[in-house]
Chain A
Amino acid sequence: KQEVTQIPAALSVPEGENLVLNCSFTDSAIYNLQWFRQDPGKGLTSLLLIQSSQREQTSGRLNASLDKSSGRSTLYIAASQPGDSATYLCAVRPTGANSKLTFGKGITLSVRP
């Protein structure tokens, strides 16, 4: 059974800092991995999707990497801003046409002005 872990559960950083959010998973047989952002009381917003054949994906100040062999993905946020404050969740999809996403519990990020 796939397990997805995100540690720490919460993180507070000063504005402008570059930061890395970690996601680890137990089964390396994955199809893809998706990073989401969730603001309080809101739905999830898709940030980046990495296919198993890819090593990284970039969108603006965000860069997500994938290392299947070690069961890890990282979300890099450059020059953090207070508006980046939110909960960031990663989700892993195992191989198989009808496989379902397994979500981590998320990292709550607070960027201090």
Chain B
Amino acid sequence: RKEVEQDPGPFNVPEGATVAFNCTYSNSASQSFFWYRQDCRKEPKLLMSVYSSGNEDGRFTAQLNRASQYISLLIRDSKLSDSATYLCVVNNGGSYIPTFGRGTSLIVHP
């Protein structure tokens, strides 16, 4: 089983839709969690950290479920500019080495 797993998609949604991605991780000792966004042929950029109590940044909401070992990203009112690949990142704390998921592709169409 891979350490971090994501549904690669693509998720194809119309503008204005709400879409959610999940990411599962295998190491129960994982301590830090992030969502990154990567545009085609560009570097990954931090979208948001994921806190235990859940957190929101505008149209984006991130949740952590330690019992089931997954994190989620919810995007409300999708924009064309949200089209990208969303990477789940898990840090095991002790090693400080991040593990990246393969990413979930989102395509928002008019």
The answer to whether A binds B is no
